[in-house]
């Protein structure tokens, strides 16, 4: 078993909730479908043609929060488009501001100090058992090449950078199963957790915990209908969750630390 790891960092993020076209709400962490898009952008895969090769049947994704995150609402000054006009005959058009503007609410993800902090996550990728051909292509591109397309934190104007790309070898990965509380550094499926310890008096284990249902897979290439959902629990700070698990997780011995993770789609 091998795990590809990289960090993605940006100033702001917005991962629009999938159930409405005009919702202002955002997921706190990128859903699995968003991580698929990030990998596809890095590799230059054709739009809407990577849903099947990066599906949970072939690739597992994990996500870890690296900086304390918060959400805040802002107003975005969009153009009000009610009339397209005829640009070939008339210069006037709502696309040129003729229709005025409309204030649209928008939920923004940022660091606690919006002026100085960044939004940062660590992503983990590994192949599903006996299905490593796709992973080999991902690994080869990430380790040896530059991004083909720009990487963003959800929307096109929230540019992001990818750093610390590395391969975690099998000798640095250990399956962990325990009946006691353990620290989990990544998002974990809710059905993998039997108990959660939350002690506000213990600073080292103090967490801000969220639970959310996120899209995991699309039906097929060119079909963005959601096929599978992932119900996850995670901390919105770098502090790990203190949980009892019902299924084994993975202990990773990284050069700078030792962490426990689970994949979103495990």
Q: Is the pLDDT of residue 105 over 90?
A: no
* Whole-number pLDDT of residue 78: 81
CB-CB neighbours of 187 under 10 Å: 30
Q: What is the pLDDT of residues 202-213, one digit of tens each?
A: 655 556 889 999
Residue 62's Cβ-count burial label (10 Å; 0-12, 13-18, 19+) is buried
Q: Determine the pLDDT at residue 23.
A: 73
The pLDDT tens digits for 210-237 are 999 999 999 999 888 888 999 999 999 9
8 Å CB contact between 69 and 239: no
Mean pLDDT, the chain, rounded, equals: 89
Task: List the domain boundaries for the chain.
Answer: 3-74+107-261
CA distance linking residue 246 with residue 180, whole number of Å: 11
Q: How far apart are CA 97 and CA 202, in angstroms?
A: 54
Please tell me the predicted confidence (pLDDT) of residue 80.
81
Percent of the chain whose pLDDT exceeds 90: 67
| pLDDT average, residue stretch 36-49 | 93
The dotted CATH code for 3-74+107-261 is: 3.30.70.3120
**Higher pLDDT among residues 161 and 81, named by residue:** 161
**C-alpha closest to that of 123 among 245, 224, 232, 29:** 29
Query: Quick one: what percent of the chain has pLDDT higher than 70?
Result: 92
107, 14 contact by CB (below 8 A): yes
pLDDT tens per residue across span 171-215 = 999 999 988 999 999 999 999 999 988 776 665 555 688 999 999
pLDDT tens-digit map of 1-34: 899 999 999 999 999 987 766 678 999 999 999 9
* Contact by Cβ (8 Å): 128, 134: no
For 154: left if phi > 0, alpha if psi spans -120 to 50, otherwise beta; the answer is: left
Q: How far apart are CA 253 and CA 190, in angstroms?
A: 24
What's the Cα-to-Cα distance from 38 to each of 46, 107, 194, rounded to whole Å?
Answer: 12, 21, 32
CA distance 50 to 53: 5
Record the pTM.
0.89
User: pLDDT class for 145, splitting at 50, 70, 90?
Assistant: confident
pLDDT at residue number 130: 67
Q: What is the pLDDT of residue 96?
A: 74
């Amino acid at each position: 078993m091998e795990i590809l790891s990289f960090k993605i960092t940006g100033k702001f993020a917005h991962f629009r909730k999938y159930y409405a076209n005009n919702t202002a709400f955002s997921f706190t962490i990128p859903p699995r479908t968003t991580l698929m898009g990030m990998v596809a952008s890095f590799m230059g895969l054709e739009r809407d043609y990577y849903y099947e090769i990066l599906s949970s049947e072939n690739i597992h994704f994990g996500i870890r929060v690296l900086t304390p995150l918060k959400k805040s609402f802002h107003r975005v000054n969009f153009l009000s488009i009610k009339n397209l006009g005829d640009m070939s005959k008339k210069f006037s058009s709502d696309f040129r501001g003729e229709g005025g503007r409309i204030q649209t609410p928008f939920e923004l993800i940022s660091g606690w100090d919006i002026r100085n902090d960044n939004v940062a996550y660590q992503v983990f990728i590994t192949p599903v058992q006996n299905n490593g051909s796709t992973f080999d292509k991902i690994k080869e591109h990430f380790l040896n090449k530059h991004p083909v397309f720009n990487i963003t934190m959800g929307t096109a104007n929230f540019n992001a950078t990818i750093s610390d790309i590395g391969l975690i070898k099998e000798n640095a990965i250990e399956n962990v199963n325990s009946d006691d509380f353990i620290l989990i550094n990544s998002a974990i499926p809710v059905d993998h957790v039997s108990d959660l310890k939350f002690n506000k008096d213990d600073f080292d284990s103090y967490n801000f915990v969220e639970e959310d249902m996120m899209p995991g897979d699309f039906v097929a290439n060119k079909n963005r209908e959601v096929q599978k959902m992932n119900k996850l629990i995670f901390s919105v700070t770098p502090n790990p969750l203190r949980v009892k698990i019902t299924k084994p997780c993975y202990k990773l011995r990284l050069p700078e630390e030792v962490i426990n993770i689970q994949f979103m789609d495990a």
